[in-house]
């Protein structure tokens, strides 16, 4: 079993190593580099031009996991960045200033193009404005994505985005890469994306089983790695998800729980749905607070941060630019609050969750705004216990073990007490 | 007799409650939390046990007696004397320890003279405390050994020269903690018989009647069938995990027991403020608590009372005499202290400043209430701070302002709600 798990893990590790190796060799290969963000990213388009993507958020979270973020943040604060600014930004800027050494220890190449493909997080714009100061030679391409204020994608939205792709983004790509746009090539990649997306949904949906074979939050961040970063649209990405899906099927057949850093979860006591990104600086310790209580996440919104496939969207070669537009528009933080609440409600009911937890991130407005409204609405709609904790993405100063533990103790006891009550009522009936 | 014990180890006070099978409180015990949590918990438990015996004694006296005697009054007098005798034992320990410490001269005053001063001050203390206990002037929930001793002691030495005064205070400071952390054993029947000797002349004729029941009451086995510890210091109690429960759940259950229609609980304790939403079974559905600052908690009032050289119990009544509330920024305890000094400097009346400080506390609590989902139906106010009349006044005001005409429940046992909830959970296991 452990070997099976390791297969997909090892595969992902190798994919990342190859990618960073390729990035470190751009001086020799002449490949152009695009810095871009995860939500609603245009990875397939980037590869259509044979360019290589770099995701500053991913570098920041990796720095957090590798305990480097504190130094990088200090560096940025010394430069004048305020304590209240998104810790990803500060971590990233600090890393670049200190030599831009990536997660594998290799130096990352500077950007040839700064592609701002999602604008729902306003920090992204300021982030890239700052990067432009660091890399004055880089070209900039900006794709404005309208927020789903009305709770749905309007035809105008799609036309507006396609127009920007045609007149702003694609010409910039052609200019930087020297490669002519090839829509057929893009379409082929999008069809490969759809295959991986189908498999990812199968994996997410496996959480309907008891015990759930996956942890859709802590395990989930590994599962979304390839699809939301540099690999969507590639055959390797499809291979990875086939491997992962077969491991998950094996666990379902054998009624096995998810794999934690301490082995397979033996007893599933609580099934949770969580809103908000995880903390990266204490990732394992944070995870342990849950799995040592037998708590498993059966659904999470963070694993929809790149794009949402739950309501049927798949990339498609039918109308490639429309497909890209829909993907950008549909990403989780671009949805309005009622839509997000509906999505969470669907997770809670579809995956039979016992409780809903918010991990509110001190330095992330896109996620944190509206979370209290979500809690209240879901509590009232579903009569489900809700919990609230606060951490940060990569600033370790905001991870207070005792505060989190104290709140989680109460939260788990709320769930336990409810189970006791339910058993008693069933016994009486 | 089957009993259940709940212990609530708070940051300021440790409480114990003993209940019977029907969830009636039969005994309450409270003491100040000290560095040795085990001793604090044990003293609270012991006090709850003694209090239970007096409750049972009272019940029996009422049942067996003709009804002409005011047994409530008589048993209260007896219990006051009992507590005085308990005080005496610890007092003797402290006096000896202080006399042992007084073995070197200070500022030209020979050691022998310091010994005399301490002896004389201790005589004053003894007389003052005796008067308090014999005339029911002791607040059982806020005056503990340390408070009972220190106030008359400081009074007795206050006119000494500065150096000598400091020396005498230092002797007390060195001795009080070890004496307070000492677990003294008391024999209920011996102490009660001695207490009977101290009863007023006209009541001594009843001695025989009491003595008949006393032996029986002392022999009742009150060993709890089960117990649960809760509160801020719960993890430090010498209990295993199954005997520990979150204070969020315990306060909610305590409030539900007295007021079953409670849907929102506001608990303001020593260093935490909690806004808790509960369902019709007393189970928690969500909660919010402060985690970055203790402004708005009991400790804030403690800090203010130090700044104003008043006892905590005096603050609320004085604030009620205000003509208006001075505007206090409510975000930080230490800064509120600075604001307080500034207002005093400007000649503002203490009453008005105190009113402003109390309102500030309540406004902070209402911020948490709003975050937790507001006040939904009956709100029960628990915790030590619920005994402060000015806080209660502003809570009532703000509930009406923000949520309309919602019933607010207050109970004389508000400080014991957590311990009561713990006892109930231990019975229900």
Is the CB of B249 inside 8 Å of chain A's CB atoms? yes
The secondary element (H helix, E strand) that includes residue A271 is strand A270-275
Please compute the mean of the pLDDT values over residues B66-95 and round it to a whole number: 91
A413/B288 touch (CB, cutoff 8 Å), yes or no: no
B249/A387 touch (CB, cutoff 8 Å), yes or no: no
| Higher pLDDT among residues B303 and A92, named by residue | A92
Compare CB distances from B246 to A376, A413, A421 and report the shortest one's residue: A413
Question: Nearest residue of B to residue A420 by CA position?
Answer: B429
**A385 chain-B contacts, CB cut-off 8 A:** 283-286
pLDDT band, very low/low/confident/very high, at A202 (cuts 50, 70, 90): very high
> Which class for A165: exposed (0-12), middle (13-18), buried (19 or more C-beta within 10 A)?
buried
Residues 371-400 of B with CB under 8 A from A: 371, 373
Q: Is the pLDDT of residue B56 over 60?
A: yes
CATH superfamily for B260-410 is ATPase, nucleotide binding domain (3.30.420.40)
Q: If you average pLDDT over each of A210-214, B36-40, B233-237, which comes out highest? A: A210-214
> Residue A423 to residues A295, A354, A419, B174: CA-CA distances in angstroms?
19, 14, 6, 54
Is the CB of A388 inside 8 Å of chain B's CB atoms? yes
For the four alpha carbons of B405, B411, B417 and B420, in that order, the dihedral sign comes to negative
Is the CB of B280 inside 8 Å of chain A's CB atoms? no
- Helices (H), ranges, A117-259: 122-134, 155-164, 170-177, 183-205, 220-223, 225-228, 235-253
Question: Nearest residue of A to residue B288 by CA position?
Answer: A388
Q: What is the pLDDT of residues A261-277, one digit of tens each?
A: 999 999 999 999 999 99
Q: Is the pLDDT of residue A5 over 80?
A: no
The secondary element (H helix, E strand) that includes residue A260 is strand A259-260
Is omega for the bond preceding A292 within 30 degrees of 0, making it cis? no
The span from the CA of B329 to the CA of B326, in Å, is 10
B285/A403 touch (CB, cutoff 8 Å), yes or no: no
Compare CB distances from B245 to A403, A407, A413 and report the shortest one's residue: A413
- A147: helix, strand or coil: coil
Q: What is the pLDDT of residues A283-296, one digit of tens each?
A: 999 999 999 999 99
The phi and psi torsions of B53 (rounded to 5 degrees) equal -65, -40
Please compute the mean of the pLDDT values over residues B80-103 and round it to a whole number: 94
B249/A400 touch (CB, cutoff 8 Å), yes or no: no
β-sheet with B273-278: strand ranges across: B284-289, B273-278, B262-268, B378-382, B408-409
- Strands (E) across B269-417 are located at 273-278, 284-289, 378-382, 408-409
The span from the CA of B276 to the CA of B369, in Å, is 8
The span from the CA of A256 to the CA of B284, in Å, is 31
Interface A-B, measured as beta-carbon pairs within 8 A, has a size of 51
| Higher pLDDT among residues B207 and A216, named by residue | A216
pLDDT at A1: 41
Q: Is the pLDDT of residue A381 over 90?
A: yes
pLDDT at A367: 85
pLDDT at B330: 61
B285/A376 touch (CB, cutoff 8 Å), yes or no: no
pLDDT band, very low/low/confident/very high, at A279 (cuts 50, 70, 90): very high
The ranges assigned to domains in chain B are 4-80+184-230, 85-180, 260-410
Look-up: residue for tokens 């102490």? B191
The span from the CA of A269 to the CA of A287, in Å, is 15
Please compute the mean of the pLDDT values over residues B162-182 and round it to a whole number: 93
The span from the CA of B426 to the CA of B16, in Å, is 13
Residues 394-423 of A with CB under 8 A from B: 400, 403, 406-407, 409-410, 413-414, 417-418, 421
Is the CB of B271 inside 8 Å of chain A's CB atoms? no
Q: Which of A378, A392, A406 to mutate to test the interface with B (most CBs of B within 10 A)?
A: A406
pLDDT band, very low/low/confident/very high, at A94 (cuts 50, 70, 90): very high
Is the CB of A269 inside 8 Å of chain B's CB atoms? no
Mean pLDDT over the full length of chain B: 91
**What percentage of chain B exceeds 70 in pLDDT?**
98
Is the CB of A355 inside 8 Å of chain B's CB atoms? no
- A273: helix, strand or coil: strand
- Strands (E) across A294-407 are located at 295-300, 355-361, 386-391
Please compute the mean of the pLDDT values over residues B18-32 and round it to a whole number: 95
Compare CB distances from A385 to B246, B247, B286 and report the shortest one's residue: B286
The span from the CA of A309 to the CA of A300, in Å, is 13
**A417 chain-B contacts, CB cut-off 8 A:** 249, 283-284
- Angle CA(B76)–CA(B78)–CA(B83) in degrees, nearest 5? 95
The span from the CA of B36 to the CA of B181, in Å, is 6
**A375 chain-B contacts, CB cut-off 8 A:** 286, 373
Nearest residue to B77 (alpha-carbon basis) of B206, B198, B187:
B198
Nearest residue to A215 (alpha-carbon basis) of A226, A225, A203:
A203
Find the length of chain B. 429
B373/A379 touch (CB, cutoff 8 Å), yes or no: yes
Q: Is the pLDDT of residue B24 over 50?
A: yes
**B252 chain-A contacts, CB cut-off 8 A:** none
The span from the CA of A158 to the CA of B150, in Å, is 76
The span from the CA of A289 to the CA of A292, in Å, is 6
B285/A410 touch (CB, cutoff 8 Å), yes or no: no
A375/B373 touch (CB, cutoff 8 Å), yes or no: yes
The span from the CA of B103 to the CA of B243, in Å, is 46
Residues 281-320 of B with CB under 8 A from A: 281, 283-289, 291
By the 8 A CB rule, do A223 and A303 touch?
yes
pLDDT at A3: 42
Looking from the CA of A166 toward its CB, the CA atoms found within 13 Å total: 9
Find the length of chain A. 429
A383/B285 touch (CB, cutoff 8 Å), yes or no: yes
The span from the CA of A18 to the CA of B86, in Å, is 76
| Higher pLDDT among residues A184 and B291, named by residue | A184
**B245 chain-A contacts, CB cut-off 8 A:** 413
The span from the CA of A405 to the CA of A399, in Å, is 11
By the 8 A CB rule, do B381 and B266 touch?
yes
Is the CB of A266 inside 8 Å of chain B's CB atoms? no
pLDDT at B235: 77
Q: Is the pLDDT of residue B104 over 80?
A: no
**A376 chain-B contacts, CB cut-off 8 A:** 286, 373
Please compute the mean of the pLDDT values over residues B234-240 and round it to a whole number: 79
Mean pLDDT over the full length of chain A: 94
The secondary element (H helix, E strand) that includes residue B333 is helix B333-345
A376/B373 touch (CB, cutoff 8 Å), yes or no: yes
**B291 chain-A contacts, CB cut-off 8 A:** 390, 400, 403, 407
Question: Nearest residue of B to residue A417 by CA position?
Answer: B283
By the 8 A CB rule, do B123 and B117 touch?
no
The span from the CA of A13 to the CA of A104, in Å, is 10
A410/B246 touch (CB, cutoff 8 Å), yes or no: yes
What single DSSP character describes residue B244? B
State how far Cα B282 lies from the chain centre. 25
Q: Tokens in use for A295? A: 């708590």
Q: Is the pLDDT of residue B331 over 80?
A: no
Q: What is the pLDDT of residues A104-124, one digit of tens each?
A: 899 999 999 999 988 778 899
Please compute the mean of the pLDDT values over residues B83-107 and round it to a whole number: 91
Q: Which of A357, A400, A414 to mutate to test the interface with B (most CBs of B within 10 A)?
A: A414
The span from the CA of A358 to the CA of A275, in Å, is 5
By the 8 A CB rule, do B383 and B280 touch?
no
B283/A418 touch (CB, cutoff 8 Å), yes or no: yes
- A194: helix, strand or coil: helix
Over B10-77, what HEC string results?
CCCEEEEEEECCCCCEEEEEEEECCCCHHHHHHHHHHHHHHHHHHHHHHHHHHHHCCCCCCHHHHHHH
By the 8 A CB rule, do B234 and B422 touch?
no
Domain A30-178 has CATH 3.40.50.11890: yes
């Amino acid at each position: 079993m452990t070997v099976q798990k390791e297969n997909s893990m090892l595969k992902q590790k190798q994919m990342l190593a190859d990618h960073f190796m390729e990035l470190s060799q751009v001086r020799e290969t002449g490949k152009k580099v695009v810095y871009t963000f995860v939500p609603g990213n245009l990875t397939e388009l980037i590869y259509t031009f044979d360019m290589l993507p770099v995701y500053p958020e991913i570098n920041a979270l990796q720095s957090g996991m590798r305990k480097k973020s504190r130094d990088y943040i200090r560096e940025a604060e010394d430069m004048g960045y305020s304590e209240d600014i998104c810790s990803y930004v500060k971590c990233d800027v600090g890393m670049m200033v200190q030599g831009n050494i990536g997660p594998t220890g290799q130096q990352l190449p500077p950007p040839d193009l700064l592609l701002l493909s999602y604008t729902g997080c306003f920090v992204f714009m300021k982030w890239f404005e700052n990067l432009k100061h660091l890399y004055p030679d880089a070209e900039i391409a900006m794709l404005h994505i309208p927020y789903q204020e009305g709770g749905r994608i309007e035809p105008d939205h799609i036309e507006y985005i396609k127009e920007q792709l045609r007149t702003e983004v694609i010409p910039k790509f052609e200019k930087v890469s020297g490669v002519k746009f090839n829509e057929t090539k893009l379409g082929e990649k999008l069809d490969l994306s759809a295959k991986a997306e189908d498999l990812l949904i199968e994996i997410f949906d496996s959480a309907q089983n008891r015990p759930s074979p996956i942890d859709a939050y802590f395990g989930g961040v590994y599962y979304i790695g390839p699809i939301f970063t540099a690999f969507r649209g590639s055959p390797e990405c499809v291979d990875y998800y086939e491997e992962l899906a077969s491991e998950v099927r094996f666990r379902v057949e054998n009624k096995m729980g998810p794999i934690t850093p301490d082995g397979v979860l033996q007893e599933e006591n609580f099934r949770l749905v969580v809103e908000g990104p995880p903390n990266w600086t204490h990732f394992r310790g944070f995870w342990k607070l849950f799995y040592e209580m037998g708590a498993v996440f059966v659904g999470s919104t963070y694993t929809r941060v790149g794009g949402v496939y739950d309501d049927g969207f798949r990339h498609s070669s039918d109308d490639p630019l429309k497909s890209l537009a829909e993907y950008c528009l549909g990403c989780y933080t671009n949805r309005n609050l009622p839509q997000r609440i509906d999505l969470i409600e669907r997770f809670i009911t579809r995956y039979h969750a016992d409780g809903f937890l918010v991990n509110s991130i001190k330095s992330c407005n896109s996620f944190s705004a509206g979370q209290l409204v979500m809690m209240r609405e879901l509590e009232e709609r579903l009569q489900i216990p809700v919990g609230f904790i606060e951490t940060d993405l990569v600033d370790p100063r905001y991870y207070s073990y005792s505060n989190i533990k104290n709140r989680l103790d109460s939260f788990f006891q709320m769930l336990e007490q409810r189970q006791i009550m339910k058993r008693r009522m069933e016994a009486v009936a | 007799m089957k009993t259940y014990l709940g212990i609530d180890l708070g940051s300021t006070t440790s409480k114990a409650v003993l209940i019977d099978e029907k969830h009636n409180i039969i005994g309450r015990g409270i003491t100040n939390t000290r560095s040795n949590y085990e001793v604090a918990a044990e003293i609270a438990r012991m006090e709850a046990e003694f209090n239970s015996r007096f409750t049972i004694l009272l019940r029996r006296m009422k049942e067996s007696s003709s009804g002409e005697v005011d047994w409530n009054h008589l048993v209260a007098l007896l219990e006051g004397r009992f507590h005085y005798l308990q005080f005496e034992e610890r007092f003797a320990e402290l006096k000896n320890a202080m006399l042992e410490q007084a073995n070197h001269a200070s500022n030209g005053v020979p050691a022998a003279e310091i010994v005399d001063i301490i002896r004389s001050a201790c005589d004053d203390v003894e007389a003052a405390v005796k008067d308090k206990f014999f005339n029911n002037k002791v607040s059982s929930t806020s005056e503990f050994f340390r408070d009972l001793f220190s106030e008359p002691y400081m009074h007795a030495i206050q006119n000494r020269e500065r150096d000598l005064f400091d020396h005498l205070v230092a002797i007390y400071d060195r001795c009080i903690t070890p004496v307070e952390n000492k677990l003294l054993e008391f024999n209920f029947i011996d102490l009660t018989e001695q207490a009977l000797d101290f009863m007023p002349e006209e009541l001594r004729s009843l001695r025989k009647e009491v003595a008949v029941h006393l032996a029986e009451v002392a022999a009742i086995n009150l060993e709890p069938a089960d117990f649960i510890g809760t509160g801020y210091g719960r993890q430090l109690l010498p209990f295993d995990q199954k005997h520990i429960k979150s204070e969020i759940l315990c306060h909610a259950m305590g409030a539900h027991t007295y007021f079953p229609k409670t849907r929102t609980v506001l608990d303001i304790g020593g260093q935490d403020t909690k806004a808790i939403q509960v369902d019709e079974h007393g189970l928690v559905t969500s909660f919010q608590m402060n985690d970055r600052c203790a402004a708005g908690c009991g400790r804030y009032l403690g800090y203010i009372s130090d700044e104003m050289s008043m006892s905590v119990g005096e603050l609320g009544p004085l604030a009620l005499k205000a003509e208006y509330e001075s505007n206090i920024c409510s975000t930080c305890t230490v800064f509120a202290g600075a604001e307080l000094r500034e207002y005093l400097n400007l000649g503002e009346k203490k009453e008005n400043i105190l009113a402003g400080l109390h309102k500030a506390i309540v406004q902070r609590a209402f911020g948490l209430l709003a975050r937790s989902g507001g006040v939904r139906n009956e709100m029960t106010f628990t915790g030590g701070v619920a005994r402060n009349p000015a806080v209660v006044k502003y809570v009532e005001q703000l509930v009406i302002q923000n949520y309309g005409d919602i019933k607010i429940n207050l109970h004389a046992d508000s400080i014991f709600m957590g311990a009561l909830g713990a006892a109930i959970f231990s019975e229900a296991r």
